[in-house]
Chain A
Amino acid sequence: MTGKKKVRKGYESCSGCGVCLLSCPVWHRTQTMSFTRKARAKAMQGGATHEEIAHSIDSCLLCGACEIACPEGIGLADLNLSQRQELNRSRTAYPHWYPDENPETNRNGKGPKTASLLLAGEMLGKDQEVCKAIMEHLGGNGKTALAHDDGQDIARVMEAGLSVPQERIECFISLLRPARTLIVAEGWLHHPLRKWLPGIKIIGLGESLLSSAYLRSRIGPEDLYVIESRGFHAGHRQLVLFYDRLRRETGCQTNLDLQRTAFATGASSLQGRNDLLAAGCIENAKHILKGRRVNRIVVEDLADVEAFRRATDIPVVPLGLLGGKGKLL
């Protein structure tokens, strides 16, 4: 037998140091220990059932910061999701913010066959202006094409901890196989896509756009640059240095905390998409802004535009519109 899979540590390895909660947007907003990853681990160690900690499991925005922070190296991102899956098996009613659609299993299996594909995701897919600007930055000469199927239905269902039919996943990834690079706006999809398509380079929209020296030159010391947290945490080892270079090159501030996790608003989460206010996204945006003196907020994730707009009067602009091809939002 070859390739023995490395087993990641589970909740039983949690020593209770609490370092994870320092980067947890839910804890910062609620100030409630029982809503933290640490609390869920301790409760499970003490024999609690998933139903008993359901409120905590459902509160998690699945930003992935806790896994980066954990000194024990526990696979907390997977653990957060698997607990949601376990909870789904035992409960009779889902939270109101769960997706009500089933993934479409009989999608049209056609798509562009370029070396680079952009998977726009829900928010970018809806915004023609930003999408068009981004496509121009990415190479309007046919180098990068917009994927017809960006898997947003899959992302939503997976995030809810529900199962996606295998034929839907096969249909989705079969269209992506010809590409060498996938630019994926939906950070949630980075991790599964790397698993499903190991030979293909998966990068976030921010990383892709920031390869343009022109766009980088448009960012300066007066800017707060808000990194899309899920994709960042999924590729933290490489990206932390990438964004550190950006910070040094441009002098901008970022939403990285001292532990080098990207503090999330949670606006892209299922809870945030359902209700920014109730999910705490506006409070989280205020937390990111607290004590900062900036003149502009540049966001990678379009979902963050609204969260910041409701949190502050400071202008908010999506990274894709930095070239001056669009208006400030």
Chain B
Amino acid sequence: MGRAAGCQTNPSRWDGEQWVSFVKYLAGKGVTVHEGRADSSVFISDAGGLAHGMPHGVVRPFSAEDIAEVLKAAQTYAVPVTARGGGLTTEGESIAFGGLLLDMSSMNRVLGVDIAGMTVRTEAGIYWHQLAETLRRDGLDYLSAPLNLTSSVGGTLGVGGIDINSPRLGCSADQCLALKVVTPTGDIVECSEKENSGLMDRVLLGYGQFGVITEATLKIRPFTPIIMKYFYYSSLRTAMEDLQFIAKEDAADYSGILTIMDRAINLLVAFDTDEREHEFFLRWRRHLRGHGEANFGLRMAGYYLLRPWKFREAGYLIGRRLTLFPEFSRPEYMHNNKIVDRTVVFSRAVWKFWGGSKMVIPDLAAPQEKFIEAVERGNEVCRKYFSHYTLYCVGIKLSNRQERYEMSCIPPGAQGIAFGCEFEPMLRDTNFSRDYLQSFKNEIYDIGVDMGLSYYRFGGMMKGYIRRTFGDELVDKHLALKRKADPAMILNRDVIF
């Protein structure tokens, strides 16, 4: 299998032609461009930490009209504009390699909560955590969001948004009822499934190519603390089969797999109510082949006692267990053995145990029938490259909006449900070269090409895979749509096209 995929690293920096006129024009329209180093330097990288770039200036918009002025001017002066929410991309997608950066975090107001209709209208730069803070004061919660406090609503809707309840509720983008979008030419458009639905389907899961989301109406629900249960496996295949079984039978409200390499595989399930938990243990538990922690620990002890040359690996597993699990049951976030703030708990744990100044998280998204093979092949690649890594697997319930899934993370041909797996090496104390990390990502993505899958992170540094994955016909169709919508190709340049 070939490794070289022609992936870019950092795009070349835009040379600043007409920048001064652009800034002057915007000033005349009442839009301030912050050009100081202190304003720009915080945006130098993204969560991946491998791509670096500085904008010429930053705008903190406070309305759709501000953004419309920026985009109209950008079309005229051919200035690239990069929209950034939480900056949690890993392939440089939210980094401005010159040009203007729109710091969308300034648009973070909750505009209205409709308790009768169970919806919320919010500005799209808001972080999910801020939205949760507001909703919780009324005993409410959002449906699904990435397990990351500083993901923005707009950024999430632009790529999908996967939670551990996505096997039941789908991705965040599919929970969106309406949007306000500023098109690349500066038109402000309201859209929903009934109004301008074509634009809505282009913008949701559209990687920021067809507009800047400024407002969103989302479904909400009553807040409930969750009851979390863990089952342990030493076989990746068995755990994945059980994950798929849980999704198929709707046996749990939340489910996912989190591993320590392929040695300790943790299938986590969680429930919104005691009744759902009771039903799970009554009907479904006996079908699962995972063990409780004590039983699994004894089995692992037996395994490593017979393999003393692997004691170091055993030590790593024990150390990881001892440090990681208390984080999921910190007393300040628990009440009556239920996790009160799952987003806070998971997000802190994600950053504490999987975060770092550099992260590579290639992924594969597969239809149900191809998922297990894809993960097993990806796991072999992880073993080849790294001694310590994690796999995170989750299901994604699909809607019938096939148009929005086109050229997205949803794999072609998936019906009803798809599954995704992230392959994350633990880079913490080791300096791997960019070539090494890129080769690793390429090998994972080559599996996707080979099996006809998709990816969550196909933009930015991985955009060289787009044509190989989706084929020339589909990509050219979207390129034509993009050129029509964005004649100067200024919005989120180098992310996809």
Contacts and interface: CB of A to CB of B under 8 A. Distances in A.
Interface in A8-39: 13-19, 21-22, 31-34, 36, 38-39
Nearest to A42: B42
Contacts of B43: 33
A260 B345 CA distance: 11
B38 A22 contact: no
11 contacts: A15-B357, A16-B357, A18-B86, A31-B105, A36-B42, A38-B42, A43-B41, A46-B41, A240-B332, A258-B129, A258-B133
Nearest to B39: A34
B149 A39 contact: no
A52 interface: yes
A48 B332 contact: no
A49 B332 CA distance: 38
Nearest 7 interchain pairs by C-beta: A71-B351, A39-B42, A18-B150, A291-B137, A71-B352, A31-B106, A43-B41
Contacts of B46: 16
Interface residues of B, number: 45
A102 interface: no
Given A48-B37, A241-B331, 12 more contacts: A18-B87, A19-B150, A19-B351, A31-B105, A33-B39, A34-B36, A34-B38, A39-B38, A53-B38, A56-B38, A241-B332, A259-B149
Contact of B105 (A33, A48, A52, A258): A33
B136 interface: yes
Nearest to A287: B133
Contacts of B341: 258
B42 A17 contact: no
Interface string B321-332: 000000000011
A73 B348 CA distance: 11
Contacts of A34: 34, 36, 38-39, 42
A5 interface: no
A31 B351 contact: no
Given A19-B150, A31-B106, A258-B136, A48 B38 contact: yes
Contacts of B36: 34
A288 B478 CA distance: 45
A110 interface: no
Contact of B41 (A19, A48, A257): A48
Interface in A211-260: 240-241, 244, 257-260
B348 A42 contact: no
Interface residues of A, number: 37
B11 to A, nearest CB: 19
A33 B42 contact: yes
A258 B150 CA distance: 13
A19 B346 CA distance: 12
B356 A15 contact: yes
Contacts of B44: 42, 46
A19 B105 contact: no
A43 B42 contact: yes
Interface in B94-117: 103, 105-106, 108
Contacts of A16: 45-47, 49, 87, 357
Contacts of A22: 127, 129-130, 149-150
A36 B127 CA distance: 15
B439 interface: no
A292 B150 contact: no
A322 B149 CA distance: 37
A16 B41 CA distance: 12
Interface in B276-291: none
Contacts of A14: 357
A121 B137 CA distance: 33
A55 interface: yes
Interface of B: 34, 36-39, 41-47, 49, 60, 86-87, 103, 105-106, 108, 127, 129-130, 132-134, 136-138, 149-150, 331-333, 341, 343-344, 347-349, 351-352, 355-357
A72 interface: yes
A48 B251 CA distance: 53
B332 A290 contact: no
B103 A33 contact: yes
Contact of A258 (B344, B356, B357): B344
Contacts of A43: 37-38, 41-42
B60 A52 contact: no
A15 to B, nearest CB: 5
A71 B355 contact: yes
Contacts of A18: 86-87, 127, 149-150
Contacts of A31: 60, 105-106, 108
B126 to A, nearest CB: 11
Contacts of B344: 258-259
Contacts of B137: 290-292
A52 B38 contact: yes
Contacts of B347: 19, 71
A17 B150 contact: yes
Among B39, B44, B46, B60, max chain A CB count under 10 A is at B39
A148 B355 CA distance: 49
A267 to B, nearest CB: 21
A14 to B, nearest CB: 8
Contacts of B348: 19, 71, 259
Interface in A70-102: 71-73
B134 A290 contact: yes
B149 A19 contact: yes
A240 B330 CA distance: 11
B79 to A, nearest CB: 20
A17 B38 contact: no
Contacts of A53: 38
A291 to B, nearest CB: 4
Contacts of B349: 71
A318 to B, nearest CB: 24
Nearest to A52: B38
A1 to B, nearest CB: 25
Contacts of A240: 332
Contacts of B352: 71-73
B41 A39 contact: yes
Contacts of B149: 18-19, 22, 259
Contacts of A52: 37-38
B462 to A, nearest CB: 20
A42 B43 CA distance: 8
Contact of A42 (B41, B60, B138): B41
A13 B355 CA distance: 11
Contacts of A33: 39, 42-43, 103, 105
A72 B332 contact: no
A11 to B, nearest CB: 11
Nearest to A237: B332
A33 B105 CA distance: 8
A203 to B, nearest CB: 19
A52 B36 CA distance: 9
Nearest to A292: B137
A240 B47 CA distance: 30
A244 B39 CA distance: 38
A274 B108 CA distance: 29
A14 B44 CA distance: 13
